[in-house]
Amino acid sequence: MTCCYKDYVPILKAISDETRLKIIDMLSCGELCACDILEAFEITQPTLSYHMKILTECGIVIGVRSGAWMNYTLNKGKADDLINFISNVTRDKDDCICIPYREKKKIKDTEPFE
């Protein structure tokens, strides 16, 4: 698999928080105003802003200002990319990064003892 693992680190860090995972789940059903998201949690508005900043900076959420309000949507393309990445790194494949190690180990296992 040819990919750049470091490209997925920010999004994986962002979704490693329970509140942010719940926000992503909420946004999976469609666009929500920050005020609607805030109602679902027992957190302050600055805390929500902090979470939304992390989610928007990594690209999994898109924020659009509408007057005084912020509306958020799930970036479905980015979510699909993440799902594909996780699927690829958790299955056996011909171009796995472990191949050189496995081939090296196979050679060592077949060498005769001296």
The pLDDT of residue 55 is: 98
Domain extents in the chain: 5-110
Give the pLDDT band (50/70/90) at residue 1: very low
Q: Are 72 and 26 in contact (CB under 8 A)?
A: no
**Furthest C-alpha separation in the chain:** 78
Q: What is the pLDDT of residues 22-44, one digit of tens each?
A: 999 999 999 999 999 999 999 99
pLDDT per residue as tens digits for the range 46-90: 999 999 999 999 999 999 999 999 999 999 999 999 999 999 888
What gap in Å lies between CA 75 and CA 67, rounded to an integer?
21
Is residue 94 over pLDDT 90? Answer: no
Contact of 1 with 97, CB cutoff 8 Å: yes
CATH T-level topology, domain 5-110 = Arc Repressor Mutant, subunit A (1.10.10)
CB 59 within 8 A of CB 74: no
Check if the beta carbon of residue 45 is closer than 8 Å to that of residue 38: yes
Tokens of 84: 């594909």
